[in-house]
Structure 1
Amino acid sequence: MKRAMEKDYGDTSFITGMRAFAALAVIMIHTGGAGFRELGEIGKNFANFGAAGVFVFFVISGFSVSSSYETSNSYRSYLNKRLWRIAPLYYFWLGVSILLGTTALYWQQQFSAPVDIYNVAMHLSFLSFLDFRIANTIIGVEWSIPIEVFWYLAIPFMMRFSGSAKQLAALIAVSLIVHVISARADVLFPFLGENAPFVMRWSPVPYALCYALGIAIYRARAYIRHSDAIGNLAFVISAAFIVAYVCAPRMFAKIFFDELIFTSLVTTVLLLFGSAKSRMFTLVFGNRVAQFLGIVSYGLYLAHVPLLDLLTRYDGFWMQNPTLRFLLVSLCATFVSVITYYSFEQRLVTFGKNIARRFSPSAPLSEIQS
């Protein structure tokens, strides 16, 4: 069995490191900002920007899932691989959260949605996005998982209508329009009531753009000549835009409409022009720590809120300081995620790939970046 640190996805290995930063950004926002909020307005903006880590995950998912589908011999084998990648750990943390009593009480009380048979069944079937009241009531971050599964189902059909540049441009344009409309749900769809923002936010609709861009990245990377200079330039420009956004988020929100569009476009630039040839990408995303955390990033994402709940109950010195709280939760989530990764997650992913090969005996044996 290969160790996690030995995984190598060639020219796109940096993407694993990007996942690490996205996961840590989400942990930062949920643990109170890691001390950045106490540094003034810009610090607050930086901490708030951590919520955009989910958008980064979605764009990366659009890219990697497109690759996974294209290298699968059938829709069934492709879907089998994807579900074995996402379901086991998701089910594990659903069960742990319920058994330990660390479910998301805030959202349960907000929408009067107890963790009952209906709630659990909707989560297990990846249909919880159909009822915003229960979408985020168990783990506390699980609203995004059924959305991923929805787009797993949809991406193969989207790819069929994105073979040419014109079709791809049309797909992105339509996805952008859908996102803009969904962002105005409270005004355009008054029948949804005061909870219209949640109805849309926890549904697959606003994130069509993320996945459309992921498909575009997959299509376009083959035509881009990657080099150290191009990668470094893309990295510096993206970093400069992020710094500028943190300094003046309202101005950038007017230019890019909202944070999702801004983050998705920056992520697109990084994924398009990044490569192992770039020293900047290798230094930031290709180092051992980033690669290791990126490989267990799915576990980090699912584990950190239940662990935060458990640690908060002790209310010790570490949990009163936002910086120490971030570090403690991150370390605990990493420790637990490494255990779950080696104990069953990695094995079940491999098992799923083997099942997929049985569905398609002639399928390539090369591993897909998941």
Structure 2
Amino acid sequence: MEIRKLNMLRGLAALIVVVSHFSNSTMIFNGVLGKGAGQLGVMLFFILSGFLMALLYADRKFSFESVNQYFISRFARVMPLFLLVVIMSYVLYSLDLGNILYKVDSIESFLSHILMLSGESVLWTIPTEIQFYVIFVGLWALFQSSYMRFAITVASLFVILFFLGFSRPIGEVFGLKVDVSILQSLPYFLSGTLMGLLYRHIDRFKSHQHALYMAVFLLIVLMYPKIFSSVTGSEHGLWQDLGVWLIMSLAFFAITFLIPDDNSLLSNRVGDFLGKISYSLYLLHMPVLWQLERMQFESTFLFFALFVLGSVVVAYLSYLIIENPCRSAIKSMMFRIGNARGQQVLQS
């Protein structure tokens, strides 16, 4: 099932992160588009991830085979590009070329990334995503066995996370950095999961849909830290703020349930393209920014144009050369292995 407007939302989430990092680098418009604004894009990514996992898998029969297929699909979607970036970052640092990719400058840092314990810069979100994929299997099993147990578990998780202050403990274990960012991120995954389950009843919302709900994007803009403080005179706590979680979840709900699926501003070829390259755009825009920073542009707007264009081109090439081929190859290989095992069982 494809919900086309979510392609645009995925692309916009990536662009929020991209623009935020550019704003932090150049302080364009006095940094109003940065200073934590990129975290809002990550929140949208996490809500969307929870939503899609529930939508795609919750109603499938929970079995060893279905869980195996689930992990293969998730691995094929996320890991090839991430592993390549981490390996290349480590190799380049070993060759004293550490200013090209990310700071994976020791064997301990390398292992922390590979073992999904932590991540430098934007890479921190990938271990968090993988950890949620593991948690979702438990939620999937609960949902299939008992709605009541599922509801109690989710409610309990929210209460526990609330009393923990949606914290993000960071420490070391055996010399390896451990970033427990899942504690601050899980509420977003969970709200997405609940909305994914609710989407089975989307027909009940059709009569309430209207293009005017596009105004909900203004709520997301209002959550930009510098804009929020300018408008309200106070500051919010991003991940540690229950209000931010509520606003971002409501915004996602409105976009998914209350804006018509055929809205031309969301469901179009531009959105399809941005959604397709969003993962590569997210992972690779920082190296593009770092290389362009060395050129010391006199015009910030020229810098911005080249940065966005360069990031999109690099992301598209990454999608064509790495993401899509690797995903297809892994799924095809595992499908052949599964068929071969099936044949062995039949012949035994």
Which category of TM-score, normalised to the shorter sequence, fits these structures? 0.7 to 0.9
Tell whether the 8 Å contact from 2:132 to 2:182 is kept in structure 1 after alignment.
Answer: yes
- The residue number in structure 2 matching 1:364 is none
- The residue number in structure 2 matching 1:3 is none
Secondary structure in 1 aligned to 2:12?
helix
Map residues 173-184 of structure 1 onto 2, 5 A cutoff: 173-183=155-165
Please say if 1:14 is aligned against 2:5: yes
- The residue number in structure 2 matching 1:212 is 190
Secondary structure in 1 aligned to 2:37?
helix
C-alpha distance in structure 1 between counterparts of 2:274 and 2:220, whole Å: 22
C-alpha distance in structure 1 between counterparts of 2:195 and 2:150, whole Å: 10
Higher mean displacement: 218-227 or 30-39: 30-39
Segments of 5+ residues of structure 1 without an aligned counterpart are 1-8, 109-113, 130-134, 362-370
Please say if 1:123 is aligned against 2:113: yes
Please say if 1:64 is aligned against 2:52: yes
Secondary structure in 2 aligned to 1:286?
coil
Map residues 172-211 of structure 1 onto 2, 5 A cutoff: 172-183=154-165, 185=167, 203-211=181-189
Tell whether the 8 Å contact from 2:208 to 2:258 is kept in structure 1 after alignment.
Answer: no
C-alpha distance in structure 1 between counterparts of 2:86 and 2:166, whole Å: 32
Alignment RMSD, CA only?
Answer: 3.5
C-alpha distance in structure 2 between counterparts of 1:46 and 1:343, whole Å: 31
Please say if 1:307 is aligned against 2:288: yes
For each residue in 1:82-103, what CA deviation from the matched residue of structure 2 results, as whole angstroms up to 9, or x when unmatched? 1111111112222343424237
- The residue number in structure 2 matching 1:90 is 82
Which of 12, 17, 27 is matched with 1:26 structurally? 17
C-alpha distance in structure 2 between counterparts of 1:234 and 1:172, whole Å: 28
C-alpha distance in structure 2 between counterparts of 1:46 and 1:118, whole Å: 31
- The alpha carbon displacement at 1:171 in A equals 4.1
For each residue in 1:15-58, what CA deviation from the matched residue of structure 2 results, as whole angstroms up to 9, or x when unmatched? 1110110001001111116988526xxx7277643321001001
Tell whether the 8 Å contact from 2:277 to 2:316 is kept in structure 1 after alignment.
Answer: yes
Tell whether the 8 Å contact from 2:288 to 2:310 is kept in structure 1 after alignment.
Answer: yes
- The residue number in structure 2 matching 1:340 is 318
Map residues 215-230 of structure 1 onto 2, 5 A cutoff: 215-225=193-203, 226-227=205-206, 229-230=208-209
C-alpha distance in structure 2 between counterparts of 1:276 and 1:168, whole Å: 29
Please say if 1:293 is aligned against 2:274: yes
Secondary structure in 1 aligned to 2:99?
coil
Task: Give the aligned residue type for 1:78.
Answer: Y
| 1:249–1:34 Cα change, 3 Å | farther
Tell whether the 8 Å contact from 1:77 to 1:359 is kept in structure 2 after alignment.
Answer: no
Q: What's the TM-score, normalizing by structure 1? A: 0.73
Higher mean displacement: 152-161 or 78-87: 152-161
Higher mean displacement: 16-25 or 215-224: 215-224
Secondary structure in 2 aligned to 1:316?
coil
Task: Give the aligned residue type for 2:13.
Answer: A
Secondary structure in 2 aligned to 1:102?
coil
Tell whether the 8 Å contact from 1:59 to 1:268 is kept in structure 2 after alignment.
Answer: no
Tell whether the 8 Å contact from 1:231 to 1:273 is kept in structure 2 after alignment.
Answer: yes
Tell whether the 8 Å contact from 1:69 to 1:156 is kept in structure 2 after alignment.
Answer: no
C-alpha distance in structure 2 between counterparts of 1:357 and 1:223, whole Å: 32
Please say if 1:265 is aligned against 2:245: no
- The alpha carbon displacement at 1:120 in A equals 0.8
| 1:124–1:296 Cα change, 3 Å | same
Tell whether the 8 Å contact from 1:296 to 1:338 is kept in structure 2 after alignment.
Answer: yes
For each residue in 1:60-117, what CA deviation from the matched residue of structure 2 results, as whole angstroms up to 9, or x when unmatched? 1112223443458421121011111111111222234342423788xx7xxxxx7211
Please say if 1:102 is aligned against 2:74: no
Task: Give the aligned residue type for 1:76.
Answer: N
| 1:174–1:269 Cα change, 3 Å | farther
| 1:212–1:121 Cα change, 3 Å | same
Tell whether the 8 Å contact from 2:10 to 2:275 is kept in structure 1 after alignment.
Answer: yes
C-alpha distance in structure 1 between counterparts of 2:201 and 2:166, whole Å: 36
Secondary structure in 1 aligned to 2:71?
helix
| 1:248–1:33 Cα change, 3 Å | farther
Tell whether the 8 Å contact from 2:4 to 2:267 is kept in structure 1 after alignment.
Answer: yes
Map residues 65-80 of structure 1 onto 2, 5 A cutoff: 65-70=53-58, 73-80=65-72
| 1:266–1:330 Cα change, 3 Å | same
Task: Give the aligned residue type for 1:295.
Answer: K
| 1:264–1:177 Cα change, 3 Å | same
C-alpha distance in structure 1 between counterparts of 2:81 and 2:36, whole Å: 27
Task: Give the aligned residue type for 1:345.
Answer: E
Secondary structure in 1 aligned to 2:122?
coil
- The alpha carbon displacement at 1:260 in A equals 3.7
| 1:47–1:15 Cα change, 3 Å | farther
Tell whether the 8 Å contact from 2:44 to 2:252 is kept in structure 1 after alignment.
Answer: yes
Work out the percentage of aligned pairs sharing the same amino acid: 23
Which of 127, 149, 158 is matched with 1:146 structurally? 127
C-alpha distance in structure 2 between counterparts of 1:298 and 1:13, whole Å: 17
